[in-house]
Amino acid sequence: MKPQQIGAFRVDRVLESEGPYFALDFLLPGAPAELIGENADWLKPAFVDPADDRLILSFQSFVLRTGRNTILIDTCTGDDKERPGRPHWHRQKRPYLERLAAIGVAPEAVDFVFCTHLHADHVGWNTRLENGRWVPTFPKARYIFARREYEHWEAVHREHLAGRGEPVSHGSFADSVLPVVEAKRAVFVESDHEIETGVFLEPAPGHTPGNSVLHAESGGRRALFIGDVMHTAVQLARPALSSRFCSDAALSAATRTALCERHAETDTLILACHFPTPVAGRIRRHRAGFALAV
């Protein structure tokens, strides 16, 4: 993704990985196979692999530089994490911090980290392994978590510690969220919290209970960091389709549909965590649904 200018703000992406990933009906249960063919004109080759119709996904962060603050949005899967249930995330080594350095951002320069939600692929780089301990990767940053989201997963984590249920999101709550809280770098906010003028959260529940998006408005322009409100651009064609990873599929569908309706045919630049290169685009009405104009 080319750097994007939003008024006085600048947005870059930091890529962790990208490539063909899921079959349509795995990620979006119930999705009709013809959805890709009907929208091939804009989905291929960027969002759907022409070879086998697999959905192409990125794992990426965004860096928003406002002039006042450097804000890192979602932190991918991270290095060295124990993720035996997800082989492609397990004990990973990727040049993420080098790519962050390449856009001129040292870990010490990050003022805020914001995780749209607390799944393993959005919190990984919150921490790094140092002498066998998980420490905050961004030592001077305040890590912003929506209180509702944090409290939900903290309760699930306590259940797990009591012997009920699996570790939260492959163990990521324990190795990528709690160490930040214990280091006193976490800030718990309401789901409409304003970080600075023009930069504010909005609740977008459904994918997870406290899932939130981030608005960035400057000079009459707007970017919207939507996290996993959509996992693939295919969902623009049919916003009612929720992913298999959504905790409340019906609520996720309602949130996604409302977001598409509200921002369609506007200048809002949509930045989703898993949309592959060229990543950024604007929502346009297309056939019975929507499309992404890049």
Give contact residues for Zn ion (rule: CB under 5 A).
121, 228
Q: Closest approach of Cβ 251 to Zn ion, in Å?
A: 17
Nearest to 194, CA basis, from 202, 205, 183: 202
Burial class from Cβ neighbours inside 10 Å (0-12, 13-18, 19+) for residue 119 reads buried
Residue nearer to Zn ion on the CB measure, 198 or 272: 272
Q: Closest approach of Cβ 276 to Zn ion, in Å?
A: 13
Q: Closest approach of Cβ 68 to Zn ion, in Å?
A: 28
Beta-bridge mates of residue 57: 19
Q: Nearest-5° angle of CA 169, CA 172, CA 174?
A: 115
Residue nearer to Zn ion on the CB measure, 134 or 275: 275
Q: Closest approach of Cβ 126 to Zn ion, in Å?
A: 14
Residue nearer to Zn ion on the CB measure, 175 or 228: 228
Q: Closest approach of Cβ 288 to Zn ion, in Å?
A: 27
How far apart CA 205 and CA 148 sit, in angstroms, is 10
Residue nearer to Zn ion on the CB measure, 65 or 231: 231
How far apart CA 285 and CA 275 sit, in angstroms, is 18
Q: Closest approach of Cβ 228 to Zn ion, in Å?
A: 4
Residues written for the chain = 294
Tell me the C-alpha to C-alpha distance, in Å, between residue 9 and each of 6, 99, 223. 5, 20, 10
Residue in the block written with tokens 């981030």:
214
Beta-bridge mates of residue 240: none
How far apart CA 251 and CA 246 sit, in angstroms, is 9
Residue nearer to Zn ion on the CB measure, 7 or 209: 209
Residue nearer to Zn ion on the CB measure, 10 or 201: 201
